[in-house]
Structure 1
Amino acid sequence: MVLFSRLEQLYEEAKSNRWFRYFTVFCRIVLALGFLPSGTVKIMGERFTALSGNHPLGHYFDALHLTGYYYTFIGIAQVTAALLLLIPRTALLGALIYFPIILNICILAYATRFEGTRITTLMVLASLYLLCWDYDRLKHILPVKQSNSDGYAAQKKPLSNRFPFLFFGCVFTAVASVIVINQFLYEIRPGNSLEECQNGCPGSKYPKACEVFCDCIHNRGKPLATCLTEFERAKNSRRN
């Protein structure tokens, strides 16, 4: 209970800090810019990415493109979320729509070993931050004990100009961690093209197996699971 009260106190301090507000606006703008182009492309009925149809994610986007108005609906949802984020009064609604969409995209990127895992992870974290920023409005529907504050006390306080070094240090650490962890998360990735995939083979521990994997993905268009099995088989044959 003491911990929860302390967290609420820290939250109120953050809400009355000018630098936190700048960061919140920054997150809203960046997230909106991330969805406006991709959503508009879907509304126009065009293929979203230049990835080859043989790429694991390319398979998915080709199928998604053929779903007709469902494809358009996703585009409308993305553009709507982006526009709502840009309007202060509707930013919370935009964040609520945005979060499940970007979380789905992030999981998809990891499942297909797409190179965009880093940026989508950061977008998920930024979207989650925006939801936390509006905790004073969301807490009324959350299973937590309500405090006696009216939720607007922070807005009545004069804005503090003290720079939150600890918070931005944590932001920097989170960004660096996402980049570093993703660098070593997978032994091999398909890359966005055959050339990009093969460029990683010379520095690989198993260059021949890497070439087999790249050929399996980009030339023969086999499923990711099948190509990973061939990669492991090529590694084992190399050892023997």
Structure 2
Amino acid sequence: MATFTRLEKFYAEAKGNKWFRGFTVFCRITLALGFIPSGWVKTIGERFTALSNNHPLGNYFEALHHTGFYYTFIGVSQLLIALLLIIPRTAILGALLYFPIILNICILTYATRFEGTRIVTLMLLANLYLLFWHYDRIKYILPFNQIKEANIETQKKSSTNKFPFIFFGCVILAIASVIIINIFLFDIRPGNSLIECTNGCAGSDKKACEEFCDCIHNQGKPLEKCLEKYHTAKKRKE
């Protein structure tokens, strides 16, 4: 209970802090800008990415491109969500609608070992921050104890300009962690092109790596098959 009380106090103080409010606006605008280009491309019916059809994620986007009005529907939804995020009064609705989409994209990028996993992960974290920021408005649908409304309103009225060093230190740490973890998370990635993939091949596993790149980008085989072939080649060398 004491822990919850401390979190309640921290949340209430954050709602009245100009730095937190500024960071919230930054997250809203950044997430909206992340959806506008991709949403517009889908709305006008153009292919979303320049990735080869042989690339695991490129193959997925190519199939998505041929789903007709469903493809357009996704684009319109992204543009609408971006608009909701930009408008302060509807930002909470935008954040709620944004979450399932960005979560799906994040899992998809990790499943296909896409190079953009870092950016998408940071977008997911920013979206989670917005949801926490609006906790006082969405708490009624959550199955646990709620922060007292009176405490929040009292703290919001007592605005402060104190810079939250610990919070922004954690933000920097989270960004660094996402970047570093993604560097070591996968032993090999297909890259966005054959050249990008082969440029990452070096050392004793160079031949196996080049065969993996050829398997993906030239032969167009599934990622699982190419990974299986790659790991088998590495074991033979050992």
Q: TM-score range by the shorter chain?
A: over 0.9
How far, CA to CA, are the matches of 1:90 and 1:170 in structure 2? 28
Matched, 1:227 2:196: no
2:157 aligned residue: 156
Return the offset for 1:235. Answer: 1.1
Return the offset for 1:236. Answer: 2.1
How far, CA to CA, are the matches of 1:160 and 1:56 in structure 2? 49
Contact 1:92–1:134 under 8 Å retained in 2: yes
How far, CA to CA, are the matches of 2:17 and 2:148 in structure 1? 22
How far, CA to CA, are the matches of 1:218 and 1:145 in structure 2? 52
Q: Deviations over 1:145-195 (max 9, x none)?
A: 2344245333322x2110000000000000000000000000000000000
1:2 aligned residue: 2
Return the offset for 1:108. Answer: 0.1
Matched, 1:169 2:202: no
Q: Show the 5 A alignment for 1:104-123.
A: 104-123=104-123
How far, CA to CA, are the matches of 2:223 and 2:148 in structure 1? 54
> SS where residue 73 of structure 1 aligns?
helix
Contact 2:136–2:147 under 8 Å retained in 1: no
Contact 1:85–1:95 under 8 Å retained in 2: yes
Provide the TM-score with structure 1 as the length reference. Answer: 0.96
1:70 aligned residue: 70
One-letter code aligned to 1:134: H
Q: Deviations over 1:49-85 (max 9, x none)?
A: 0000000001100110011111111111111111100
Q: Deviations over 1:23-51 (max 9, x none)?
A: 00000011000000000000111100000
Identity %: 67
Deviates more, 1:40-49 or 1:1-10: 1-10
Matched, 1:11 2:11: yes
How far, CA to CA, are the matches of 1:113 and 1:22 in structure 2? 33
Q: Deviations over 1:184-225 (max 9, x none)?
A: 0000000000000000002x4411100010000000000000
Number of aligned residues: 237
> SS where residue 206 of structure 1 aligns?
helix
Change (3 A) 1:205 1:127: farther
How far, CA to CA, are the matches of 2:87 and 2:217 in structure 1? 43
How far, CA to CA, are the matches of 1:212 and 1:147 in structure 2? 56
2:44 aligned residue: 44
How far, CA to CA, are the matches of 1:61 and 1:134 in structure 2? 33
2:216 aligned residue: 217
One-letter code aligned to 1:50: A
How far, CA to CA, are the matches of 2:12 and 2:93 in structure 1? 21
> SS where residue 83 of structure 1 aligns?
helix
> SS where residue 5 of structure 1 aligns?
helix
Change (3 A) 1:230 1:147: closer
What root-mean-square deviation, in Å, do the aligned CA atoms of Structure 1 and Structure 2 show?
1.1
How far, CA to CA, are the matches of 2:178 and 2:39 in structure 1? 25
> SS where residue 152 of structure 1 aligns?
helix
2:57 aligned residue: 57
1:89 aligned residue: 89
Contact 2:40–2:75 under 8 Å retained in 1: yes
Change (3 A) 1:233 1:148: closer
2:195 aligned residue: 195
How far, CA to CA, are the matches of 1:147 and 1:234 in structure 2? 56
One-letter code aligned to 2:180: V
How far, CA to CA, are the matches of 2:213 and 2:147 in structure 1? 57
Q: Show the 5 A alignment for 1:180-191.
A: 180-191=180-191
One-letter code aligned to 1:64: L
